Structure 1
Amino acid sequence: MTADDRAAVGRPTGIGPSEGRLPGFRPHGDRPNGIRLSGIGDEAAPGLDRQIEAVRRLGWDSIELRSVDGVPLADLDDAAFDRVAGRVADAGLGVSCVDSRIGNWARTVVSPFADDLTELDRLAGRCDRLGTRLVRIMSYPNAGLSEGDWEREVLNRVRRLAARAEDTGLVLVHENCAGWAATDPARMLRLLEAAGSPALRLLFDVGNGIAYGYEAYDLLPHIAPYVAHVHVKDGTGDTNAQFYSLPGDGDCRVADSLRLLYGQGYSGAVSIEPHINIRPHEGWSDPSGDYVDEFVAYGQRLEKLVHEPAGGN
C-alpha cells in the first residue's frame, strides 16, 4: 500500500483532532485526556446484572457486549435481547462496541460465509437499539488453502461484509487476533484498502501479541491512524503459555501504546479485557474468586496508569 493508497482509505470513526492533548496522561475533567473507559462485560461475570454492576462500580459510562449467560449477543432470542437492551438503558450505560464471531478462531476461511452475513444482519438492528456502530470482527484463520487463495477469499469476504455494514450504518473493527491479517500491519492496511470503505477500521488489542508470538506495540506506528477501538490486557508468556496480569505489570507496554494512539488523535474508547479470572470465549474460568471485584480492581489500575506522567509502562 502506497502513501497515496493510505490517504485514500480515509480517517476512521473514533479518530479525532489532537489539539489540546498531551503526550502524558494528565487529567482532563473527569477523564484523563478525555479517555473514555469501558469494559467487556462477560470478563466480569456471565450474567448481565453483574456485568453492569462491575462497570457502574468503576463509574464508567459504557460497556462492551459479547455474551450474556454464555450466549453470544447475536444468538439471544428477541425477548432475551429486549431484556438486555432495557437493562443497559436503565443503568444509564452506552455500549462502546459489540463483539461478533465474524471471522474469528471458530470460523475459518472455509466456514459458511452465510453464517457471518446472518450474524451481521442480526447485529445491525441490535446495535441500532443499543446505540453503537462498532462491531468487532477478525479475518478468518486458514484451513488448508494456499496463501494466495486464503488472501483472495479473506479480502472478498471482508469487502462484502464492509459493504453490508456501510449500508446499515455500522463500522466493522478488525482485531489483531485470529486470521489472515491478525499480526501483520501490511496485511491490515491491505484489508482496509481492499474494503475501500469507512465501514472497516481496526481494533488494537494491546495484549494479543503474547498468545500469537509478536510485539503488538510494534504494529502501532503503521496502523495508528486507522484504529477506532482499543482493548487492554497485559501479561507475560509466549504462544505456549500466557500469564495475564494487571495493566502495567506485564510486558505489553500498555501506557506506551495509549500515549502513541492519543498522541496521534485517537478519541475512541479504551475497553478492558482482563483475561485474569474468566475467559468466556475459551470456556475457562477460575472457580475461586469474585470476578466482579477483580474486574473493578483491573479498571482502577488502568485509571491509575493513565493518570501517571509519561515514563511508566
Structure 2
Amino acid sequence: MSPETQAPRPDGPGPLRLPPGIRLSGIGDEAGAPLATQIAALTALGWDTVELRTVDGTALADLDEAAFERTAAELAAAGLGVTCVDSRIANWARPITGDFELDLRELEILATRCARLGTDRIRVMSYPNDGLPQDRWRAEVLARMTELAARAEDAGLVLLHENCAGWAGTRADRMLELLDRVASPALKLLYDVGNGVAYGYDAYDLLPEIAPHIAHVHIKDATGTAEDVRYTLPGHGVCRVSDALRLLLDHGYTGVWSIEPHINVRPHESIALSGDEVLGAFIAYGQELERLADRLATAAEGREVAV
C-alpha cells in the first residue's frame, strides 16, 4: 500500500489519507502478548508493519532460536514488516550502575535478529541514575552510549533514543548534547508524544529544539500527573498530539507514527489486561489515529492550495 493511502477510513467512505511520507504502525504487544494477537490487531487496521517489543511476554532478545524463527516466519506469512525493535538497552530497568555487558549482549543478539526481520532500528534509553553524582552519571552515560553507537554503526543499525527514562530522557539540551558527544549516524531520537505526563515534563516544549533529529515517533496521550497518569485516546489528553505531529510535518518529518496506547497494557508497571478487551482497545486507538492523520493530511492540502 502507498504511504498516502491505507485501509478504508473508519468514519466514512473513501480511502484513508495520510500526510506525505507517513506510515502508521504500532507496538504489537500493546494489543496482546501472543504474536497471533499482535498480527490480528495490525491486520484488522489494514497496516503493514509492526513494532516489536515482546512475544508471548518474552523480550525479543530472550526468545530462543526456535521461537524467534517462528516469529519471523509468521510475520512474513502475514505480510507484516517490522519498523523497529524496542530493546531494554539503557531502559527504566537498567540503571547506570548496572552491568553494561547486559546491554552489549542484547545489542549483539538484536543485530542478528534485526537483519532477519528487515529492520535497522532499535529503541534505547539513556540509563536512570542510581545514586551517582550528576557529573559522574553524565560521564558514564556518554561513555556507554558512545560504545553502543559504535557497535551499532558497525552492524548497520540505528539506535533511537526515546524521551523516557534516563539522563537525556526529559531535557532537550541533554538530548542534543548526547547526539553531539556521541557524534554517530547510528544514534538518533525517538519522540514519544505522550511521555511527558508520566515523567513530569511537557514533551511538546522539547519539540522545536529536537525536531530535526527525530527519526521515529510514538503516539501516546494522557491526562493527570506523574503520580496519577490516565492514558487516553490520541488527541483526547493534554499532550497536544495534533500540534506535535503538525510541527513535525512542518519540519519535514517523514517516517512512522507508531501507537503505544498504554491504556490496558503497561509492561513497566506490570499492568496488563488480556483478551478481546485489549485487542479491541488497540484497534480503536489505531482508528482514532487514522482520523487524526486524515485531518492533518486535509489541513496540509489546504495550506498548499492557499499558497
Verify same fold: TM over 0.5.
yes
Q: Does 1:234 align with 2:255?
A: no
Show the counterpart of 2:172. Answer: 185
| Secondary structure of residue in 2 paired with 1:203 | strand
**How many residues end up aligned between the 2 structures?**
285
**For the residues of structure 1 that align with 2:278 and 2:76, how far apart are their CA atoms?**
23
Show the counterpart of 1:90. Answer: 77
Matched to 1:144, the amino acid is G
Q: Does 1:171 align with 2:184?
A: no
Please say which of residues 28-37 and 295-304 is displaced more in the overlay: 28-37
Return the offset for 1:34. Answer: 3.2
The residue correspondences of 1:216-255 to structure 2 (distance < 5 A) are: 216-255=203-242
Matched to 1:37, the amino acid is L
In structure 1, list runs of 5 or more residues that go unmatched.
Answer: 1-26
Show the counterpart of 2:99. Answer: 112
Show the counterpart of 1:24. Answer: none
Show the counterpart of 2:148. Answer: 161
Contact 2:32 2:275 in 1 (8 A): no
Matched to 2:154, the amino acid is D
| Secondary structure of residue in 2 paired with 1:177 | strand
**For the residues of structure 2 that align with 1:281 and 1:96, how far apart are their CA atoms?**
22
Sequence identity, in percent?
Answer: 60
Show the counterpart of 2:249. Answer: 262
Higher RCO (C-alpha under 8 Å, 6+ residues apart): 1
Return the offset for 1:30. Answer: 5.0
Q: TM-score, normalised by structure 2?
A: 0.90
| Secondary structure of residue in 2 paired with 1:231 | strand
| Secondary structure of residue in 1 paired with 2:96 | coil
**For the residues of structure 1 that align with 2:114 and 2:205, how far apart are their CA atoms?**
32
Distance 1:228 1:28, change over 3 A: farther
**For the residues of structure 1 that align with 2:78 and 2:249, how far apart are their CA atoms?**
29
Return the offset for 1:310. Answer: 4.7
Contact 1:175 1:203 in 2 (8 A): yes
In structure 2, list runs of 5 or more residues that go unmatched.
Answer: 1-13, 301-307
Return the offset for 1:267. Answer: 1.0
Distance 1:180 1:31, change over 3 A: same
**For the residues of structure 1 that align with 2:251 and 2:274, how far apart are their CA atoms?**
41
Show the counterpart of 2:135. Answer: 148
Return the offset for 1:194. Answer: 1.2
**For the residues of structure 1 that align with 2:24 and 2:251, how far apart are their CA atoms?**
18
Show the counterpart of 1:40. Answer: 27
**For the residues of structure 2 that align with 1:88 and 1:277, how far apart are their CA atoms?**
24
**For the residues of structure 1 that align with 2:274 and 2:284, how far apart are their CA atoms?**
18
Matched to 2:63, the amino acid is L
Contact 2:17 2:293 in 1 (8 A): no
Show the counterpart of 1:51. Answer: 38
Matched to 2:217, the amino acid is V
Distance 1:64 1:261, change over 3 A: same
Q: Does 1:293 align with 2:277?
A: no
**For the residues of structure 1 that align with 2:259 and 2:275, how far apart are their CA atoms?**
21
Contact 1:61 1:92 in 2 (8 A): yes
Return the offset for 1:287. Answer: 5.4
**For the residues of structure 2 that align with 1:168 and 1:38, how far apart are their CA atoms?**
24
Contact 2:32 2:274 in 1 (8 A): no
1:50-88 alpha-carbon deviations (Å, 9 max, x no partner): 101100111111000000111000000000000000011
Return the offset for 1:32. Answer: 3.2
**For the residues of structure 2 that align with 1:287 and 1:230, how far apart are their CA atoms?**
26
| Secondary structure of residue in 1 paired with 2:122 | strand
| Secondary structure of residue in 2 paired with 1:32 | coil
Matched to 2:31, the amino acid is A
